[in-house]
Structure 1
């Protein structure tokens, strides 16, 4: 999905690509929702849907914009800070315990981000790439909070409902600027738009199903398989090279996140980081 959306964003822009992707996805998920005879969500659940729509709108546009400026593997490596953000958010919002291991994990994650940034600032500085990297870091931070919202959603609603309302509320957040930034795409772009919509819905559905059955910290390590796929698709589709700097930075971030995710430490709350 990332590869499809990067290609589409290069053609028509990240904002436009996102608007029309969620537009294409609405009837797909709407039919599934109607077939299940789902009732309108209760107010607290609807508020969760609306919040997640805002998170999706901001993080997706920032991420896909960043991918147009960076190789896919580097972009996904930077986005790996989102699980660390999710761990802290899970502590505050979900009551999941974190301790000193999370502090170590955060330091390793920041070191990894530092390696990636240093690689971009070495020699001739590509300002567009630096801007893309900052966009992805911002998007990843917002997405980390979104992972926590997804956990809460999954406890209150089914995957089909979550998927439909994520599209609907994301589109509502994006619509105000659509008349100026999202003109109707050419017919030649629609196969990619529909493919991106199908892949996105499949991923949201599977994530919602998973987060409804396990704690966020248990599922977080699965996020890192994306690095392998991004490197493969980046090389095959966009001819992108994988550098040692990206590998080193990604390794530090992933190591930090795995330490936090698999930690079995149970320090008392008073000893944990204040957020």
Structure 2
């Protein structure tokens, strides 16, 4: 999780720095271009190599990456216009939208803990956005739309993970999203200046390392450990924004994020208890009859 936290912060900083020279589409194009080369190298050195990218689910990959590209566009667009902490805080609504969309699209039950997480998440989001106060910005709405895009991509990832390897999913992510960013970038093309090259490499590497570290963290520890650590991104990125960009800490944003954290923890603890009960029932000794 420490690796994931530093990766997310580095990705946010590099995205902010690149926004001074490039459009959001160009940032996503360069990110995918470097990313596909990195993933190709990893596939070449892993087993079973390129066999794992053979897929019968091209349509599912396409749908996932349309949603994921929309999520990334909203996130990087927001980095250019609103404080870093606000971007991260709004992004934390992704579990809320995931639960709601899973209920609508996958038929999953909206239990009381999930409903509590949904209510707290929406309340926290309203506190952050403060509609009607005159402070609502289009960039904040773009980040919120991006969070919904991420939620759709997570649902599709859940389906793909049953048949595809993680490297296969990452490979098609970078490959499919490459033309999504390239085509609009060509309309306003700008050759990267030398000072931007390190930021381009950094945003591409940290995008991969963040997801890898997060996946490893969930494999090694319970969600009740991982999720609170993930919320450390907010105070850490707020500190970065204060030190490097003179961004003041917005207390409504912090309070709204805490409400989201509370809702997520309520839902996670409930799911853990449910999982524990299932395991106890499975392990319970059967009667001689």
* Normalised TM-score (structure 2): 0.79
1:22 is aligned to 32
Alignment of 1:138-217 (within 5 A): 138-207=145-214
Q: CA deviation at 1:13?
A: 2.3
Higher gyration radius (CA): 2
1:269 is aligned to none
Q: CA deviation at 1:221?
A: 5.3
Among residues 50, 53, 58, which one is paired with 2:65 in the alignment?
53
Q: Provide the secondary structure at the position in 2 that maps to 1:157.
A: coil
2:98 is aligned to 86
1:5 is aligned to 15
After TM superposition, the runs of 4+ consecutive aligned structure 1 residues lying more than 6 A away are: 210-219
Unaligned stretches of 5+ in structure 1? 267-275
Report the RMSD for the aligned CA atoms in angstroms: 2.8
Question: Could you say if the C-alpha distance between residues 22 and 239 of structure 1 is closer, same or farther in structure 2, counting changes exceeding 3 Å?
Answer: same
Question: Could you say if the C-alpha distance between residues 247 and 216 of structure 1 is closer, same or farther in structure 2, counting changes exceeding 3 Å?
Answer: closer
1:257 is aligned to 264
Question: Could you say if the C-alpha distance between residues 57 and 157 of structure 1 is closer, same or farther in structure 2, counting changes exceeding 3 Å?
Answer: same
Contact 1:86 1:148 in 2 (8 A): yes
Contact 1:101 1:263 in 2 (8 A): yes
Contact 1:112 1:249 in 2 (8 A): yes
1:80-110 deviation line (CA, Å, top 9, x unaligned): 1111111233445666554022222211111
Among residues 119, 122, 143, which one is paired with 1:107 in the alignment?
119
1:154-190 deviation line (CA, Å, top 9, x unaligned): 3322232222221111113333322114433222211
2:251 is aligned to 244
Unaligned stretches of 5+ in structure 2? 1-10, 275-289
Distance 2:270 2:50 in 1: 38
Among residues 232, 242, 246, which one is paired with 1:235 in the alignment?
242
Distance 2:224 2:17 in 1: 32
Distance 1:148 1:225 in 2: 25
Contact 1:76 1:227 in 2 (8 A): yes
